[in-house]
Amino acid sequence: MTGVNLSSPHGEALKAAGEVDGRSLWQDAWRRLLANRAAFISLIVLVTLGVVSVVGPYVLPWTYDQIDWDHVEAMPPNFAMGHYFGTDSVGRDLLARTLFGGRISLMVGILATTVALTIGVTVGAVAGFVGGKVDQLLMRFVDLMYAVPLTFFVIILMVLFGRNFILMFLAIGAVEWLTMARIVRGQTLTLRNKEFIDAARASGGSTTAIIIRHIVPNVLGVVMVYVTLTIPQVILLESFLSFLGLGIQEPMTSWGMLINDGAAELEINPRTLIIPAAFMTVTLFCFNFLGDGLRDALDPKDR
Protein backbone atom coordinates (compact mmCIF):
# COMPACT_ATOMS: atom_id res chain seq x y z
CA MET A 1 0.00 0.00 0.00
CA THR A 2 2.67 2.49 -0.87
CA GLY A 3 1.38 6.00 -0.96
CA VAL A 4 -2.25 5.19 -1.39
CA ASN A 5 -4.53 5.71 1.56
CA LEU A 6 -7.76 4.00 0.80
CA SER A 7 -9.69 6.04 3.28
CA SER A 8 -9.56 8.57 0.45
CA PRO A 9 -8.96 6.83 -2.79
CA HIS A 10 -10.97 9.31 -4.84
CA GLY A 11 -8.18 11.88 -5.15
CA GLU A 12 -5.78 9.74 -7.11
CA ALA A 13 -8.52 7.73 -8.69
CA LEU A 14 -10.25 10.78 -10.03
CA LYS A 15 -7.13 12.33 -11.38
CA ALA A 16 -6.48 9.15 -13.24
CA ALA A 17 -10.06 9.03 -14.38
CA GLY A 18 -9.79 12.63 -15.59
CA GLU A 19 -6.89 11.71 -17.77
CA VAL A 20 -8.61 8.68 -19.16
CA ASP A 21 -11.81 10.47 -20.00
CA GLY A 22 -10.15 13.67 -21.12
CA ARG A 23 -11.95 15.67 -18.49
CA SER A 24 -10.05 18.47 -16.83
CA LEU A 25 -9.56 18.90 -13.13
CA TRP A 26 -11.80 21.97 -13.28
CA GLN A 27 -14.66 20.15 -14.90
CA ASP A 28 -14.39 17.48 -12.26
CA ALA A 29 -14.32 20.08 -9.50
CA TRP A 30 -17.33 21.84 -11.02
CA ARG A 31 -19.27 18.59 -11.18
CA ARG A 32 -18.45 17.78 -7.59
CA LEU A 33 -19.42 21.29 -6.50
CA LEU A 34 -22.82 20.95 -8.13
CA ALA A 35 -23.25 17.59 -6.45
CA ASN A 36 -22.72 19.24 -3.05
CA ARG A 37 -26.23 20.35 -2.16
CA ALA A 38 -25.31 23.01 0.42
CA ALA A 39 -22.74 24.60 -1.88
CA PHE A 40 -25.05 24.48 -4.90
CA ILE A 41 -27.96 26.12 -3.06
CA SER A 42 -25.56 28.70 -1.64
CA LEU A 43 -24.32 29.53 -5.11
CA ILE A 44 -27.87 30.05 -6.37
CA VAL A 45 -28.81 32.18 -3.36
CA LEU A 46 -25.71 34.33 -3.77
CA VAL A 47 -26.24 34.88 -7.49
CA THR A 48 -29.88 35.76 -6.83
CA LEU A 49 -28.94 38.14 -4.03
CA GLY A 50 -26.33 39.76 -6.24
CA VAL A 51 -28.74 40.28 -9.12
CA VAL A 52 -31.54 41.49 -6.87
CA SER A 53 -29.37 43.97 -5.02
CA VAL A 54 -28.09 45.41 -8.30
CA VAL A 55 -31.39 45.46 -10.18
CA GLY A 56 -33.78 45.83 -7.24
CA PRO A 57 -33.20 49.49 -6.40
CA TYR A 58 -34.15 50.45 -10.00
CA VAL A 59 -37.35 48.44 -9.96
CA LEU A 60 -38.74 49.25 -6.53
CA PRO A 61 -41.23 52.09 -6.17
CA TRP A 62 -39.05 53.79 -3.55
CA THR A 63 -35.38 54.60 -3.51
CA TYR A 64 -33.16 53.94 -0.53
CA ASP A 65 -32.91 57.57 0.55
CA GLN A 66 -36.43 58.69 -0.35
CA ILE A 67 -38.60 59.63 2.61
CA ASP A 68 -42.29 58.74 2.43
CA TRP A 69 -43.59 62.02 3.80
CA ASP A 70 -47.01 60.52 4.47
CA HIS A 71 -45.47 58.08 6.92
CA VAL A 72 -42.50 59.59 8.64
CA GLU A 73 -42.36 56.76 11.14
CA ALA A 74 -41.60 53.06 11.23
CA MET A 75 -44.43 51.38 9.42
CA PRO A 76 -45.10 47.65 9.14
CA PRO A 77 -45.15 46.08 5.68
CA ASN A 78 -47.75 47.73 3.46
CA PHE A 79 -48.12 46.31 -0.03
CA ALA A 80 -50.55 48.99 -1.22
CA MET A 81 -47.95 51.68 -0.55
CA GLY A 82 -45.15 49.63 -2.07
CA HIS A 83 -43.35 49.20 1.26
CA TYR A 84 -42.99 45.46 1.10
CA PHE A 85 -40.83 45.28 4.22
CA GLY A 86 -42.27 48.43 5.80
CA THR A 87 -40.29 51.59 6.49
CA ASP A 88 -37.65 52.69 8.96
CA SER A 89 -38.10 55.29 11.68
CA VAL A 90 -37.90 58.23 9.28
CA GLY A 91 -40.17 56.69 6.66
CA ARG A 92 -37.63 55.24 4.21
CA ASP A 93 -38.47 52.00 2.48
CA LEU A 94 -36.74 49.16 4.29
CA LEU A 95 -36.53 46.79 1.33
CA ALA A 96 -34.93 49.44 -0.85
CA ARG A 97 -32.49 50.26 1.91
CA THR A 98 -31.67 46.63 2.59
CA LEU A 99 -31.01 45.94 -1.08
CA PHE A 100 -28.96 49.08 -1.51
CA GLY A 101 -27.07 48.31 1.69
CA GLY A 102 -26.48 44.82 0.35
CA ARG A 103 -25.08 46.28 -2.84
CA ILE A 104 -22.59 48.34 -0.84
CA SER A 105 -21.69 45.48 1.48
CA LEU A 106 -21.18 43.05 -1.39
CA MET A 107 -19.21 45.63 -3.35
CA VAL A 108 -16.92 46.34 -0.41
CA GLY A 109 -16.56 42.59 0.07
CA ILE A 110 -15.66 41.91 -3.53
CA LEU A 111 -13.51 44.97 -4.14
CA ALA A 112 -11.55 44.63 -0.91
CA THR A 113 -10.99 40.96 -1.62
CA THR A 114 -9.78 41.87 -5.10
CA VAL A 115 -7.28 44.25 -3.56
CA ALA A 116 -6.19 41.57 -1.08
CA LEU A 117 -6.02 39.04 -3.89
CA THR A 118 -3.83 41.23 -6.07
CA ILE A 119 -1.37 42.05 -3.31
CA GLY A 120 -1.43 38.58 -1.79
CA VAL A 121 -0.92 36.67 -5.02
CA THR A 122 1.81 39.01 -6.18
CA VAL A 123 3.73 38.90 -2.93
CA GLY A 124 3.18 35.19 -2.43
CA ALA A 125 4.13 34.18 -5.96
CA VAL A 126 7.20 36.41 -6.06
CA ALA A 127 8.39 35.29 -2.63
CA GLY A 128 7.82 31.65 -3.43
CA PHE A 129 9.24 31.71 -6.92
CA VAL A 130 12.20 34.02 -6.52
CA GLY A 131 13.06 32.65 -3.09
CA GLY A 132 16.24 33.54 -1.22
CA LYS A 133 16.62 37.01 0.22
CA VAL A 134 13.47 38.33 -1.44
CA ASP A 135 11.44 35.52 0.06
CA GLN A 136 12.88 36.06 3.51
CA LEU A 137 12.29 39.78 3.40
CA LEU A 138 8.71 39.52 2.21
CA MET A 139 7.74 36.80 4.63
CA ARG A 140 9.38 38.56 7.57
CA PHE A 141 7.22 41.51 6.68
CA VAL A 142 4.14 39.33 6.58
CA ASP A 143 5.05 37.82 9.96
CA LEU A 144 5.49 41.30 11.33
CA MET A 145 2.11 42.42 10.00
CA TYR A 146 0.44 39.48 11.72
CA ALA A 147 1.40 40.99 15.07
CA VAL A 148 -0.36 44.24 14.22
CA PRO A 149 -3.89 44.75 15.47
CA LEU A 150 -5.14 45.30 11.94
CA THR A 151 -8.72 46.21 12.72
CA PHE A 152 -7.34 49.06 14.78
CA PHE A 153 -5.33 50.20 11.81
CA VAL A 154 -8.31 50.17 9.51
CA ILE A 155 -10.16 52.28 12.03
CA ILE A 156 -7.24 54.67 12.36
CA LEU A 157 -7.08 55.04 8.58
CA MET A 158 -10.81 55.66 8.41
CA VAL A 159 -10.56 58.31 11.12
CA LEU A 160 -7.57 60.01 9.60
CA PHE A 161 -8.59 60.10 5.99
CA GLY A 162 -12.32 60.44 6.39
CA ARG A 163 -14.90 57.75 6.03
CA ASN A 164 -15.44 57.05 2.40
CA PHE A 165 -16.24 54.05 0.31
CA ILE A 166 -13.03 53.84 -1.73
CA LEU A 167 -10.76 54.20 1.24
CA MET A 168 -12.82 51.61 3.04
CA PHE A 169 -12.19 48.79 0.61
CA LEU A 170 -8.61 49.84 -0.03
CA ALA A 171 -7.89 49.82 3.69
CA ILE A 172 -9.59 46.51 4.33
CA GLY A 173 -7.93 44.98 1.29
CA ALA A 174 -4.58 46.25 2.46
CA VAL A 175 -4.87 44.30 5.68
CA GLU A 176 -6.55 41.14 4.43
CA TRP A 177 -3.84 39.99 2.04
CA LEU A 178 -1.50 38.41 4.55
CA THR A 179 -2.96 34.92 4.70
CA MET A 180 -3.41 34.95 0.93
CA ALA A 181 0.29 35.68 0.49
CA ARG A 182 1.25 32.83 2.79
CA ILE A 183 -0.99 30.35 1.01
CA VAL A 184 0.19 31.34 -2.45
CA ARG A 185 3.81 31.22 -1.37
CA GLY A 186 3.37 27.70 -0.03
CA GLN A 187 1.75 26.56 -3.26
CA THR A 188 4.38 28.27 -5.38
CA LEU A 189 7.17 26.57 -3.47
CA THR A 190 5.79 23.16 -4.38
CA LEU A 191 5.22 24.21 -7.98
CA ARG A 192 8.64 25.74 -8.45
CA ASN A 193 10.37 22.42 -8.82
CA LYS A 194 7.83 20.83 -11.12
CA GLU A 195 8.91 19.75 -14.56
CA PHE A 196 6.73 22.15 -16.52
CA ILE A 197 8.31 25.10 -14.73
CA ASP A 198 11.75 23.79 -15.64
CA ALA A 199 10.54 23.42 -19.19
CA ALA A 200 9.26 26.98 -19.24
CA ARG A 201 12.52 28.22 -17.85
CA ALA A 202 14.57 26.18 -20.26
CA SER A 203 12.65 27.63 -23.18
CA GLY A 204 13.71 31.09 -22.07
CA GLY A 205 10.70 32.42 -20.19
CA SER A 206 11.38 35.43 -17.99
CA THR A 207 10.56 35.25 -14.30
CA THR A 208 7.58 37.56 -14.69
CA ALA A 209 6.26 35.58 -17.63
CA ILE A 210 6.60 32.28 -15.80
CA ILE A 211 4.87 33.65 -12.71
CA ILE A 212 1.97 35.08 -14.71
CA ARG A 213 1.60 32.26 -17.21
CA HIS A 214 2.45 29.18 -15.14
CA ILE A 215 2.44 29.86 -11.41
CA VAL A 216 -0.67 32.00 -11.08
CA PRO A 217 -3.01 29.73 -13.06
CA ASN A 218 -1.90 26.77 -10.98
CA VAL A 219 -2.52 28.38 -7.62
CA LEU A 220 -5.93 29.61 -8.76
CA GLY A 221 -7.86 26.73 -7.20
CA VAL A 222 -6.58 27.30 -3.70
CA VAL A 223 -6.87 31.03 -4.15
CA MET A 224 -10.50 30.75 -5.21
CA VAL A 225 -11.35 28.82 -2.07
CA TYR A 226 -9.67 31.45 -0.01
CA VAL A 227 -11.41 34.27 -1.89
CA THR A 228 -14.80 32.77 -1.17
CA LEU A 229 -13.92 32.63 2.50
CA THR A 230 -12.41 36.14 2.56
CA ILE A 231 -15.40 37.94 1.06
CA PRO A 232 -17.66 37.16 4.04
CA GLN A 233 -14.88 38.18 6.43
CA VAL A 234 -14.64 41.53 4.70
CA ILE A 235 -18.39 41.99 4.70
CA LEU A 236 -18.34 41.27 8.40
CA LEU A 237 -15.50 43.72 8.99
CA GLU A 238 -17.26 46.45 7.01
CA SER A 239 -20.50 45.92 8.88
CA PHE A 240 -18.58 45.98 12.12
CA LEU A 241 -17.05 49.35 11.23
CA SER A 242 -20.34 50.76 10.05
CA PHE A 243 -22.03 49.49 13.16
CA LEU A 244 -19.57 51.38 15.33
CA GLY A 245 -20.18 54.48 13.24
CA LEU A 246 -16.72 54.29 11.71
CA GLY A 247 -17.61 52.99 8.26
CA ILE A 248 -19.83 54.19 5.44
CA GLN A 249 -21.43 57.61 5.91
CA GLU A 250 -25.05 58.68 5.52
CA PRO A 251 -26.91 58.91 3.24
CA MET A 252 -25.10 55.85 1.89
CA THR A 253 -25.84 52.72 3.79
CA SER A 254 -24.70 49.17 4.25
CA TRP A 255 -25.97 46.18 6.16
CA GLY A 256 -23.87 47.06 9.18
CA MET A 257 -25.36 50.55 9.30
CA LEU A 258 -28.88 49.26 8.87
CA ILE A 259 -28.29 46.85 11.73
CA ASN A 260 -27.00 49.73 13.80
CA ASP A 261 -30.11 51.79 12.95
CA GLY A 262 -32.32 48.84 13.71
CA ALA A 263 -30.57 48.20 17.00
CA ALA A 264 -31.55 51.66 18.16
CA GLU A 265 -35.21 50.77 17.99
CA LEU A 266 -34.86 47.15 18.84
CA GLU A 267 -37.55 47.22 21.50
CA ILE A 268 -40.27 48.99 19.54
CA ASN A 269 -39.44 47.70 16.10
CA PRO A 270 -37.31 44.53 15.95
CA ARG A 271 -38.18 44.21 12.23
CA THR A 272 -35.75 47.01 11.31
CA LEU A 273 -32.94 45.01 12.90
CA ILE A 274 -34.00 41.55 11.88
CA ILE A 275 -34.44 42.12 8.15
CA PRO A 276 -30.97 43.47 7.32
CA ALA A 277 -29.41 41.11 9.86
CA ALA A 278 -31.12 38.18 8.17
CA PHE A 279 -29.94 39.24 4.70
CA MET A 280 -26.40 39.59 5.91
CA THR A 281 -26.37 36.36 7.87
CA VAL A 282 -27.74 34.40 4.94
CA THR A 283 -25.10 35.90 2.67
CA LEU A 284 -22.30 35.04 5.07
CA PHE A 285 -23.67 31.54 5.46
CA CYS A 286 -23.77 31.04 1.72
CA PHE A 287 -20.23 32.27 1.17
CA ASN A 288 -18.94 29.96 3.87
CA PHE A 289 -20.80 26.95 2.52
CA LEU A 290 -19.65 27.74 -0.99
CA GLY A 291 -16.08 28.09 0.21
CA ASP A 292 -16.19 24.78 2.06
CA GLY A 293 -17.82 23.16 -0.96
CA LEU A 294 -15.17 24.54 -3.29
CA ARG A 295 -12.42 23.25 -1.07
CA ASP A 296 -13.94 19.79 -1.02
CA ALA A 297 -14.50 19.91 -4.77
CA LEU A 298 -10.94 20.92 -5.57
CA ASP A 299 -9.28 18.74 -2.97
CA PRO A 300 -11.69 15.95 -2.20
CA LYS A 301 -9.43 14.03 0.13
CA ASP A 302 -9.89 16.71 2.75
CA ARG A 303 -13.08 15.20 4.03
Which residues contact another protein (rule: CB under 8 A)?
Answer: 1-10, 12-14, 16-17, 20, 32, 35, 143-144, 147-153, 155-161, 232, 236, 239-240, 243-246, 256, 259-260, 262-263, 266-267, 270, 273, 277, 280-281, 284-285, 288-289, 296, 300, 303
210 vs 241, which CB is nearer to another protein? Answer: 241
What DSSP letter does each residue of 61-125 carry, written as one string? SS-TT-B-TT--S----BTTTTBTT-B-TTSBBHHHHHHHHHHHHHHHHHHHHHHHHHHHHHHHH
130 vs 139, which CB is nearer to another protein? Answer: 139
8 vs 164, which CB is nearer to another protein? Answer: 8
Provide the minimum distance between the beta carbon of 184 and another protein in the complex, in angstroms, as a whole number. 19
Provide the minimum distance between the beta carbon of 223 and another protein in the complex, in angstroms, as a whole number. 20
CA separation for the pair 128, 211 (Å, rounded):
10
Backbone dihedral angles phi then psi of residue 225, each to the nearest 5 degrees: -60, -45
Provide the minimum distance between the beta carbon of 288 and another protein in the complex, in angstroms, as a whole number. 6
Provide the minimum distance between the beta carbon of 110 and another protein in the complex, in angstroms, as a whole number. 18
- Cα separations (Å) of 83 from 43, 71, 86, 252? 28, 11, 5, 19
Specify whether the CB–CB gap between 69 and 91 falls below 8 A: yes
134 vs 148, which CB is nearer to another protein? Answer: 148
253 by Cβ neighbours in 10 Å (0-12 / 13-18 / 19+) ranks as buried
124 vs 232, which CB is nearer to another protein? Answer: 232
